[in-house]
Structure 1
């Protein structure tokens, strides 16, 4: 294939991949902001059913993402991508064709499986068919689709639901999914060198699903269940026991579900750990909204406007982070990003300031949020996939993205729970400041992991 043709077809592939992943980051995640509108349509559904439908897609995605990455390594990344896009279309149709709550729940489950398949498979495709600067550029657009989609989900969903109808969110998603299939229709499966296994590790898959299910339910439902309740303790015990069993089972299998040799790669493990810890900042964003709306009496719209610098700057700085790899190496951006984020959270923690001064501080803080995440996104993702053997990129990228999901969930659970526990014992502003401070500690640990675990020449 000639270079000019390769470049053009490569651009179309990147566009198709971006359109496929925003079916989750922009459209499926829009459900977080349209709960009341959805309940008006599903008049027979209780608030509990609606709340379940909101959280279910992320829960399913987190549980099955690594399994889907493993499958993509074994049966083909392109096949899994096609399947993920088709499931996205089916899930959207199930949600909008009827007002039956059962189909709503099934549709959200299907969307979760779709996202779990698309994320690792599309990253693997990029890593397989692009190299060097072209790969980093493609990963930047992937990150823009993911982080940009998430950032605009609230504004997009609110606009569509208010001025048209919330169902149009998923009608548009279906249309873009069909376009993604068209753009990717000529994409050929690229074979990687892999020792054929006589049988798939179903036992490893089963144990891993138990681990992730118990852990995810504990994280997402722990506050409602009670962190020290019998059910929560049982979930922790199941997670620990199943993890130990998983380790010993996988060590005995020739072709395990997760090859632990991935974690002997210092560049990979350092990047994944930093990724997990930096994503705990989702908890600080949630705490900011809770604090400003309850104590400063801001409306949700006003709180959202203050976070706007985060969305805008992340889109600008993702490409800057990509370009910095060639000039300075990936590690520098990965190390600097936590420091920028830490300063951003410190500015959110200055709750002792007057209302106006505090909000100005938060505007600057969210700008630093965007810069920090933007610098981190492409260098971290590029390091994770480029330092992993090609035949393991699917599961490696899935673990990387799962670290993002779990980091966000842990951040939400721990930071909000600490704030809730402290506000009854002290001044609310002090409770918020301490909760923000805990997040700063987590980010600094992420900085130390990036600084001392990742080798200086992690990515060539």
Structure 2
């Protein structure tokens, strides 16, 4: 495969993963504009559509990674690209809210297929230092896409129309298909037939769905209502049954045995908690537009330090693996990200002063995300048996997307609930601080669980 132009493969995969990290994630930044299009739709439904793609991606990514290991990484990637195109087409047809919801669900299935399959393609093409470089490009597309999403979405929504975000996504998806069309497919020939754990998937969907509904719709249902209580009970019972069932399965939906590896366990949990900070990105755009009267474009300009510092920090994170091992970066990242969110939480400051604080905060934000990206991804795939890389990378990215989905749901819900009682400035500050607490837990987990030396080349 190395003879088949690795640079072309890298570019094709970067364009492919941008369909989620740049375009699908752009919904974080355009919720007010989308609600204007669907004027009869409640804000709770719009907020649900924002987090829905991440939620669907997280739920089904492990299943997609497992299937990709058996039928081929290229094949699953191509299917994912076609689903991305279909989802984008559905979303730009604003006939009814149901189109919006369906389109976001299709985008979720697309990302669930693309992410573990593309990581596995890199893992099979490259080894050692070359693999780390390739994975840093993957991280650049993923986290770089998230960084650009705010600026890109704000520009499109302010000067053109938010639907153009997904028109551009369709064009780049077609280019990605062209670049990847000639690569050989790779899969594990010794894994036998696909024995899919439908019972495990069903329980997982129900318990995650119940928790998601509680978080996103709790304000409407009532946080202490009977319905909310039932949703929590469903989640707890579902979790207990799920763990008991998966431990007995020969071919489980979720490979719980992978979590016996402390390096993998620590990286996945830290990854989940770190990605809740995506909720603060969504909150920043909502708060600055509601409280400060900024446009989507002007709000996105404030996030530029995030983009710039992250691009530099991603390469620094890659280099730090060989020099210090991955743990130093994985422990430092939550601290830097937390400092950034503290700067965002200073909503009591006056307009210009607050914006300056946010510019500094987004600088820390970008360094933290960039420093974490490659060491975390490399640790997840390099400490895993080669025949389970698809599943392992799927679990790792599931942690990212579910972390983002729950981060959006939790942070925006806290802001929405508190703004009914307190000022929007106080509500915004409190919501940011909630995210800081989650990052503090991430720091403690990374410090205690991840071994000092956890990376080895395979």
3-state SS of paired residue (1:279): helix
C-alpha deviation, 1:269, in angstroms: 0.7
2:240 to 231, 240, 244: 244
Q: CA offsets, 1:305-336, max 9 Å, x none? A: 22221122212221221122122211111111
Tell me, in whole angstroms, the C-alpha distance in 1 between the residues paired with 2:38 and 2:415.
Answer: 34
2:299 to 303, 312, 325: 303
Contact in 2 for aligned 1:201/1:256 (Cα 8 Å) = yes
What does 1:444-459 align with in structure 2 at a 5 Å threshold?
444-459=440-455
2:338 to 325, 335, 342: 342
Q: What value does the CA root-mean-square deviation take over the aligned residues?
A: 3.1
Tell me, in whole angstroms, the C-alpha distance in 1 between the residues paired with 2:395 and 2:363.
Answer: 28
1:154 to 124, 147, 150: 150
Q: CA offsets, 1:278-299, max 9 Å, x none? A: 2222343444445555555555
- More moved, 124-133 vs 362-371: 124-133
3-state SS of paired residue (1:280): helix
Tell me, in whole angstroms, the C-alpha distance in 1 between the residues paired with 2:118 and 2:440.
Answer: 31
Q: 1:27 to 1:301 in 2, by over 3 A?
A: closer
Contact in 1 for aligned 2:221/2:228 (Cα 8 Å) = yes
Tell me, in whole angstroms, the C-alpha distance in 2 between the residues paired with 1:426 and 1:104.
Answer: 32
Q: 1:280 to 1:96 in 2, by over 3 A?
A: closer
Contact in 2 for aligned 1:197/1:255 (Cα 8 Å) = no
Q: 1:60 to 1:151 in 2, by over 3 A?
A: same
Q: Which residue of 2 aligns with 1:442?
A: 438
Q: Which residue of 1 aligns with 2:198?
A: 202
Tell me, in whole angstroms, the C-alpha distance in 1 between the residues paired with 2:294 and 2:72.
Answer: 49
Q: Which residue of 2 aligns with 1:183?
A: 179
3-state SS of paired residue (2:172): helix
Q: 1:438 to 1:112 in 2, by over 3 A?
A: closer
- More moved, 164-173 vs 130-139: 164-173
C-alpha deviation, 1:263, in angstroms: 0.5
What does 1:87-236 align with in structure 2 at a 5 Å threshold?
87-96=83-92, 99=95, 103-192=99-188, 194-196=190-192, 199-236=195-232
Q: CA offsets, 1:9-30, max 9 Å, x none? A: 1111111111111112222333
C-alpha deviation, 1:34, in angstroms: 4.8
Q: CA offsets, 1:89-146, max 9 Å, x none? A: 2223334468466555433322221111111111122122211121111211212212
User: Is there any run of 5+ residues in structure 1 with no aligned partner, and where?
Assistant: none
C-alpha deviation, 1:430, in angstroms: 5.7
Q: 1:168 to 1:307 in 2, by over 3 A?
A: closer
- More moved, 187-196 vs 265-274: 187-196
Contact in 1 for aligned 2:62/2:395 (Cα 8 Å) = yes
Tell me how many residue pairs correspond in the alignment.
Answer: 455
1:275 to 271, 277, 302: 271
1:389 to 381, 385, 397: 385
C-alpha deviation, 1:167, in angstroms: 4.3
Q: CA offsets, 1:415-442, max 9 Å, x none? A: 4454556667777656655544443332
Tell me, in whole angstroms, the C-alpha distance in 2 between the residues paired with 1:157 and 1:436.
Answer: 22
Q: 1:188 to 1:367 in 2, by over 3 A?
A: same
Give the TM-score of the pair, scaled to structure 1. 0.87
Contact in 2 for aligned 1:192/1:390 (Cα 8 Å) = no
Tell me, in whole angstroms, the C-alpha distance in 2 between the residues paired with 1:280 and 1:370.
Answer: 14
Tell me, in whole angstroms, the C-alpha distance in 1 between the residues paired with 2:194 and 2:50.
Answer: 40
Q: 1:191 to 1:64 in 2, by over 3 A?
A: closer
Q: Which residue of 2 aligns with 1:407?
A: 403
Tell me, in whole angstroms, the C-alpha distance in 2 between the residues paired with 1:399 and 1:190.
Answer: 19
Q: CA offsets, 1:35-59, max 9 Å, x none? A: 676677779x745776665544333
C-alpha deviation, 1:179, in angstroms: 1.8
Q: 1:219 to 1:132 in 2, by over 3 A?
A: farther
User: Is there any run of 5+ residues in structure 2 with no aligned partner, and where?
Assistant: none
- More moved, 110-119 vs 61-70: 61-70
Q: Which residue of 2 aligns with 1:316?
A: 312
Contact in 2 for aligned 1:193/1:391 (Cα 8 Å) = no
Tell me, in whole angstroms, the C-alpha distance in 2 between the residues paired with 1:353 and 1:164.
Answer: 32
Tell me, in whole angstroms, the C-alpha distance in 2 between the residues paired with 1:148 and 1:218.
Answer: 31
Q: Larger Cα Rg: Structure 1 or Structure 2?
A: 1
Tell me, in whole angstroms, the C-alpha distance in 1 between the residues paired with 2:235 and 2:330.
Answer: 30
